Amino acid sequence: MDFLAWMTAAQQRSEAALSHHQPGASVTPERLHEAMRYSTLGGGKRVRPLLCYAAGEVFGAADEQLDLPAAAVEMIHAYSLVHDDLPCMDNDRLRRGKPTCHVEFDEATALLVGDALQSQAFQLLADAPLDAGKVVTMLSLLAHAAGSRGMAGGQAIDLAATGKTQSLAALEFMHLHKTGALIRAAVLMGAHCGNPEGAELLALTHFANRIGLLFQVVDDILDAEASTATLGKTAGKDAAQNKSTYVSLLGTAAAKAKAAELRGEAHAALDRLGRDALRLHQLTDYIVDRHF
Ligand code: GRG
């Protein structure tokens, strides 16, 4: 199967799991459930579920074992976008080509959507058709990735740094937490659905850290170069908010060179696995070559 066909099938599988594993819009409280579905379904690239499925495949996990972990990571991601868009944070009105959750519904509902999606994510993991030991490992990985030593911590660092010039090292630290932690969790959770060995997990962690940064460098380049219509979210926000980015600190050409370097390091880490990791190689290239 070529990469596009594989990706489309995995995205559809992920969409179906996300739809199936949260309450219908007619279940009380209807407005909250409608807003949760609005924020999770029918949009987004599904990069984190794709990584989870691809990593699971490397270690012999079946798609049925990966559905719930993949959906759980995407629910945490969707919650983070809903909260990030709130007026108290990034105050954005456009996400995935449609009005943000608090614009379409209201701020209190958007706050509750994030809260409820976070709980739902852990419910899904608890229900995953896996050994109890694997479930506990995954609960721990996702909790760590979402919390103050992961994504939420990275967001706090980002908010504190807004309007100030950050060093490249500080920027990298922030992104390894804000964006990288969840990407790392997606990869490792997928792997743990199968049977990885210790050394393989180390190589995989290195791979995940490289693509976490790669994802962000490309995000910065797209924010500077692509249009709002193409991105489905407000373009040019980093410069407008005077945020330090790879583009503002390095310039566009050097940011692109950095992306090329990280892409090479990610492929090299996968090569060290000594297993067929075709889909992870292809996803690495997709992260670089994407247009939104
Ligand atoms: C509110 C706790 C909390 C955390 C927010 C992830 C995040 C932390 C904020 C999002 C802000 C942002 C633009 C980050 C840059 C990288 C990123 C996560 C972009 C959006 O992810 P994509 O491109 O989005 O995977 P889709 O819509 O394709 O799922």
Q: Which domains does the chain have, with CATH numbers?
A: 3-289 (1.10.600.10)
Spacing, Cα 189 to ligand 1 middle (Å): 19
Spacing, Cα 114 to ligand 1 middle (Å): 13
Is the pLDDT score of 240 beyond 90? no
Q: Which of 14-23, 108-117, 168-177, 241-250 has the lowest mean pLDDT?
A: 241-250
The residue-averaged pLDDT of 227-233 equals: 93
Nearest atom within ligand 1 for CA of residue 232 = 27
CB of 45 sitting under 6 A from ligand 1: yes
Q: Give the confidence band of 239 by pLDDT, cuts at 50, 70, 90.
A: confident
- Locate 20 and state its tokens: 């199936």
Spacing, Cα 216 to ligand 1 middle (Å): 9
Hey, whose CA ends up nearest to atom 4 of ligand 1?
80
R_g (Cα) of the chain, nearest Å: 18
For the chain, give the mean pLDDT: 96
Query: For residues 285 and 221, what is the distance between their CA atoms, to the nearest angstrom?
Result: 15
Neighbour tally for 225: CB within 10 Å = 15
Hey, whose CA ends up nearest to atom 10 of ligand 1?
81
32: which residues sit within 8 A by CB, 6+ positions away? 109, 112, 113, 116
CB of 100 sitting under 6 A from ligand 1: no
Residue 287 buriedness (CB in 10 A; 0-12 / 13-18 / 19+): buried
Q: How far is CA 144 from CA 85, 86, 286, in A?
A: 22, 23, 27
Q: Give the confidence band of 237 by pLDDT, cuts at 50, 70, 90.
A: confident
pLDDT at position 163 is 84
Q: Under a CB-based contact definition with an 8 Å cutoff, are residues 238 and 248 in contact?
A: yes
Query: For residues 137 and 175, what is the distance between their CA atoms, to the nearest angstrom?
Result: 24
Quick: pLDDT tens for 130-167: 999 999 999 999 999 999 999 999 999 999 998 899 99
Displacement of CA 288 from its chain's centroid (Å): 15
Neighbour tally for 60: CB within 10 Å = 12
Question: Is the pTM value of this prediction over 0.75?
Answer: yes
What residue type is assigned to position 204 of the chain? Answer: L
Cα angle 289, 281, 2 (rounded to 5 degrees) comes to 80
Quick: pLDDT tens for 19-30: 999 999 999 999
Spacing, Cα 247 to ligand 1 middle (Å): 18
